[in-house]
Amino acid sequence: MKVPATGRRRFAYPAIIALAAALLTVVTPGTASSHGTTIDPSSRNYGCWSRWGNQFQNPAMQTQDPMCWQAWQTDTNAMWNWNGLFREGVQGNHQGAIPNGQLCSGGRTGDGRYRAMDVPGNWRATNIGRNFTLRLLDQASHGADYIRVYVTRQGYNPLTTALGWNHLELVAQVGNTPPSQWQKVTTPHQGVQINIPATANGRSGRHLVYTIWQASHSDQSYYFCADVNIT
């Protein structure tokens, strides 16, 4: 637990609230303005941040959204830094850098900050069709050397099984795309975004969309698990 009960009591003091707000302003958006994530269908931690970020201690989450609950309990920074799920210096060898079962945490990158994303279970899923569009938000205008979009094979069960490379099938790919070719956006966040059409033939029900975004400013690669329900 990163938020002890004493933390709550302290919030009762207005001066501390102001201080905490100031710190959040400096720390959270500072790191939170520099990278990106998939926002539709949303990555696991982005979804937990967008649904619960303003009420992350609400015990109702435990029953309404239990996988987000376990994620917030494990490390709140995985949500505050929803755009920081990346590794550096992988040199394109994603499978070598990330063991099976750890794909959703980028191989427990950042000292394991995102490890709760690897836990299989009933994450909230976005309804999509077999033809869908993946939306990737880039807040820092990194652009992409490439973006690879995978969907799990029919038969894989994200409720019971942590994601492995063997579960994935490439369904869409985008090559070198400088940020000038992305769409400028101001909501829900400032930055550029790219919409990637993809097709998940022969699939229905619960699946994961797995995205690898190789940013262009340096060897920085991002890994996103998004829970979907294919109808």
User: Where on the chain is the footprint of Cu ion (CB under 5 A)?
Assistant: 34-35, 140
Q: Residue 35 or residue 115: which is nearer to Cu ion going by CB? A: 35
CB of residue 48 to Cu ion, shortest distance in Å = 20
DSSP per residue over 24-58, as a string? HHHHHHHHHTS-EEEEETBBHHHHHHHHHTTSTT-
Residues whose CB is less than 8 angstroms from the CB of residue 56 and which lie 6 or more positions away in sequence, other chains included: 3, 72, 76, 79
CB of residue 185 to Cu ion, shortest distance in Å = 17
> The tokens of 98 are what?
């990330």
Q: Residue 35 or residue 108: which is nearer to Cu ion going by CB? A: 35
Q: Residue 38 or residue 152: which is nearer to Cu ion going by CB? A: 38
Instruction: State which H helix or E strand residue 145 sits in.
Output: strand 144-152
Residue with tokens 């201690």: 57
- C-beta atoms surrounding 145 within 10 Å: 18
Residues 49/132/105/45 CA torsion (nearest 10 deg): 0
CB of residue 222 to Cu ion, shortest distance in Å = 8
Residues whose CB is less than 8 angstroms from the CB of residue 171 and which lie 6 or more positions away in sequence, other chains included: 149, 150, 151, 198, 199, 200
Q: Residue 131 or residue 190: which is nearer to Cu ion going by CB? A: 190
Q: Residue 119 or residue 140: which is nearer to Cu ion going by CB? A: 140
CB of residue 179 to Cu ion, shortest distance in Å = 12
DSSP per residue over 164-194, as a string? -GGGEEEEEEE--B-GGGSEEE-SSSSEEEE
CB of residue 52 to Cu ion, shortest distance in Å = 24
CB of residue 122 to Cu ion, shortest distance in Å = 31
Q: Residue 74 or residue 105: which is nearer to Cu ion going by CB? A: 105
Q: Residue 169 or residue 219: which is nearer to Cu ion going by CB? A: 219
CA distances 93 to 7, 43, 89, 139, 144, Å, are 42, 22, 9, 25, 16
Instruction: State which H helix or E strand residue 14 sits in.
Output: helix 14-32
Which residue minimizes CB distance to Cu ion?
A: 35
CB of residue 85 to Cu ion, shortest distance in Å = 10
